[in-house]
Amino acid sequence: MTTPDASTQHDFALPTFGDQVNLRQQVGEALRALLITGQMRPGQVYSAPRLAAQFGVSATPVREAMLDLVSEGLVEVVRNKGFRVTELDDRELDAIAELRILIEVPVMAFVAEACEGDIAVEVERLRPVAQRITEAAAAGDLITYTEADIEFHTRFLALHGNHHVVSVVRDMRHRSRLYGLEALAQAGVLSQLSREHELMVDAALRRDRDDMSRIMTQHLGHIRSTWAGRPPGRTDAI
């Protein structure tokens, strides 16, 4: 099997960065979003200069961001060519989904149970983020969608007060691959599923831990079954 090179790849709808502050981090987050959504495909080699041209920046911050992704195991260096996206098989995706359910469902339930005072204020502040996720889904803006989704869930989990939970979940989200995301956005299904985020906000404000557990289990089931490109309704792997 011949590995496709950068010249055969389609152009990405990437943001253009005008602010040079923390450029490496901004580029890295955008690249992670492309990896998570499956727009950067496993096995393909990507050139830092070409990606830099699409971002509207020099090749240096792109190359630096790519090296960060190498250290995380998300891409690997191909000498004199660029960077190849690493493969994730079904077994590894299932393992990630299982871990997320084991961690995120009970932690979100704990947040709902404790949702009063300052915690309730912070939960309400997540509503605009949930709305931004829905708007991005409707617009088919998968980079904004993915970045807002990670922000929403990590900020929500942080209200439990255990920073290790946030770190582990963020890492697992970065390692996920949602190959079916683009097709769901085009079909209008993604915008429907994205409304579950506001349901999480409502469940927390009602301090309804049982409903929060139900919503989160359903939400994570969508991620591993439908979003990973499996037929709708197949959730046996989680």
Domain with CATH 1.20.120.530 in the chain: 90-224
Using CA atoms, how far apart are residues 154 and 172, in angstroms rounded to an integer? 11
Q: What is the pLDDT of residues 181-207, one digit of tens each?
A: 777 777 777 888 899 999 999 999 999
As annotated, the residues of the chain forming the CATH 1.10.10.10 domain(s) are 6-85
CB 213: neighbour CB atoms within 10 A?
16
pLDDT score, position 11:
64
Most distant CA pair in the chain, distance = 59
Measured CA distances, 216 to 30, 66, 186 (Å): 26, 32, 24
pLDDT at residue 77, rounded to an integer: 93
pTM of the entire structure?
A: 0.76
CATH 3.50.50.60 fits 6-85, yes or no: no
Chunk the chain into consecutive blocks of 10 residues (it has 238) and report each block's average pLDDT, rounded to whole numbers.
Answer: 47 57 82 82 88 89 91 88 85 85 97 98 98 92 88 97 95 77 77 92 98 94 62 34
Question: For position 17, what pLDDT does the model report?
Answer: 56
Superfamily for domain range 90-224: GntR ligand-binding domain-like (1.20.120.530)
Instruction: Say what the pLDDT of residue 16 is.
Output: 57
Residue 7 phi, psi (nearest 5): -70, -20
How many of the other CB atoms lie within 10 Å of CB of 31? 26
According to DSSP, residue 7 is labeled: G
Q: What was the pLDDT predicted at 204? A: 98
Q: How far is CA 17 from CA 10, 102, 220, in A?
A: 20, 37, 32
Output the pLDDT for position 121: 98
Rg (CA), the chain: 18
pLDDT at 146: 86
The CA distance from 208 to 120, in Å, is: 13
